[in-house]
């Protein structure tokens, strides 16, 4: 009998049996026999003198179903075998993959919130499962350490402590080794500065300029940034460790900075970039069912965007690990961002065509107002 007829499926009558085979009905046509005769012939093979020990019961029922029950002895042996095996009976993967799991995603100088908790817990689970399956899995926290929050903190600090040497343009000495704030002060400075930027346009512009200066390497701001990193990352490490969440890499957006130019050169060499002052890549495809807007790579003033650092990070990861698969564990509101980034990476050949780029989005945790929590407003 042909194999295709021998398909065994979970029973849709669990009160009668555990598994069933409906192949006799289809085979009836091919063999020009009655389904029940075929079913009976199969049952005969599996029972009687040379009964298959896997089954405790094999019966044919009209019009030609075969109902199957597993023997308890077989099940017990099978399960005992699994329990005794270090990997619960799991074999080696067909192809051992190198997988980057980008999860955690905490933002430096902002308190961890429940969304990050989800990314941490789901990402940690994905990482452990991947390892259990036998893959080479690398977990990266990918800190948000290069954005506007840095400029906001720097300018807020200037307003509060203008006497600090970082704000004296003529200062030539060494910058203090000790941070000008504690973690609790830092956690208060950020929401305060963020609130201020919403009502004070000039302050917002200063913060933007400060971020830009930091990204371009202005030494006093780099020095403040280092303090922010030290204070905040120490706290994050403690929190993640309490959660039993572990990262192989403590990299962040800032680590991608040295790869930005290379990434942009690649895009330009491929003729993918258009618009003179901003850098834009079209990513729409004919098969799209919804609009996928072009991906903004860089602003006219040279400021890095979220996509800039994610693409440059892919360049970095390709150089370091050549991953077969990328898994990003981030809340689902960022789905479009990742769709755009993945498309640019593929289009520009930053990753191989067969590299799997996976966005593992999860839902948001909402406050009493039914809207996602916002750290910018504090209180989370």
Binding site residues, ligand ARG, CB under 6 A: 102, 105, 107, 142, 144, 310, 328, 330
Q: Under a CB-based contact definition with an 8 Å cutoff, are residues 157 and 169 in contact?
A: no
Q: How far is the CB of 280 from ligand ARG (least distance, A)?
A: 19
Shortest Å, Cβ 330 to ligand ARG: 4
Cα 46 from Cα 125, distance rounded (Å): 42
Query: Cβ contacts of residue 123 below 8 Å, gap of 6+?
Result: 101, 102, 103, 104, 139, 245, 329
160 vs 376, beta carbon nearer ligand ARG: 376
Helix (H, G, I), strand (E, B) or coil at 189: helix
* Smallest distance, ligand ARG to C-beta of residue 144, A: 3
Distance CA 317, CA 255 (A): 11
Nearer to ligand ARG, 56 or 356 (CB): 356
Of the pair 181, 328, the CB lying nearest ligand ARG is at 328
- Least gap, CB of 340 to ligand ARG (angstroms): 12
Minimum Å gap between C-beta 145 and ligand ARG is 9
| 17 or 297: CB nearest ligand ARG | 297
Q: Where are the alpha helices (DSSP H) in 90-179?
A: 114-132, 148-160
CB of 104 to ligand ARG, least distance (A): 8
Cβ count within 10 A of residue 269: 11
Which residue's Cβ has the minimum distance to ligand ARG? 105
Q: What is the DSSP string of 241-297?
A: HHTT---SB--BGGGGHHHHHHHHHHHHHTT-EE-SSSEEE----TT-SS--PPEEE
Nearer of residues 145 and 156 to ligand ARG, judged by Cβ: 145
Nearer to ligand ARG, 124 or 310 (CB): 310
Alpha-carbon gap, residue 292 to 256, rounded angstroms: 25
């Amino acid at each position: 009998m042909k194999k295709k007829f021998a398909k065994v499926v979970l029973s849709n009558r669990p009160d009668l049996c555990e598994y069933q085979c409906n192949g006799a009905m289809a085979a009836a046509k091919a063999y020009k026999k009655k389904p029940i005769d075929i079913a009976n012939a199969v049952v005969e093979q599996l029972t009687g003198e040379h009964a298959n020990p896997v089954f405790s019961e094999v019966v044919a029922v009209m019009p030609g179903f075969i109902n199957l029950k597993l023997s308890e002895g077989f099940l017990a042996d099978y399960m005992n075998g699994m329990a005794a095996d270090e990997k619960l009976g799991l074999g080696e993967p067909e192809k051992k993959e190198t997988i980057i799991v980008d999860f955690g995603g905490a933002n430096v100088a902002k308190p961890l919130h429940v969304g990050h908790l989800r990314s941490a817990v789901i990402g940690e689970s994905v990482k452990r499962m991947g390892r259990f399956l036998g893959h080479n899995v690398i977990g990266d926290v990918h800190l948000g350490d290069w954005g506007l929050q840095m400029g906001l903190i720097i300018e807020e600090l200037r307003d509060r402590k203008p006497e600090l040497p970082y704000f004296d343009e003529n200062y030539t000495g060494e910058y203090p080794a000790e941070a000008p704030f504690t973690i609790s002060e830092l956690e208060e400075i950020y929401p305060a500065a963020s609130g201020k930027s919403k009502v004070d346009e000039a302050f917002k512009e200063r913060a933007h300029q400060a971020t830009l200066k930091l990204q371009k390497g202005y030494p006093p701001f780099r020095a403040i940034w280092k303090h922010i990193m030290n204070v905040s990352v120490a706290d994050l490490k403690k929190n993640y460790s309490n959660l039993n969440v572990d990262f192989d890499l403590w990299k962040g957006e800032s680590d991608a900075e040295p790869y930005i130019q290379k990434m942009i050169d690649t895009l330009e060499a491929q003729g993918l970039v258009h618009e003179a002052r901003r850098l834009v890549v079209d990513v729409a495809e004919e098969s799209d069912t919804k609009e996928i807007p072009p991906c903004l790579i860089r602003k006219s003033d040279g400021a890095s965007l979220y996509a800039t650092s994610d693409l440059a990070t892919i360049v970095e990861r390709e150089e370091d690990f050549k991953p077969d698969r990328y898994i990003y564990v981030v809340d689902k509101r960022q789905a479009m961002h990742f769709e755009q980034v993945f498309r640019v990476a593929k289009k520009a050949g930053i990753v191989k065509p067969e590299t799997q780029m996976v966005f593992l989005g999860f839902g948001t945790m909402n406050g009493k107002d039914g809207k996602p929590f916002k750290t910018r407003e504090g209180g989370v």
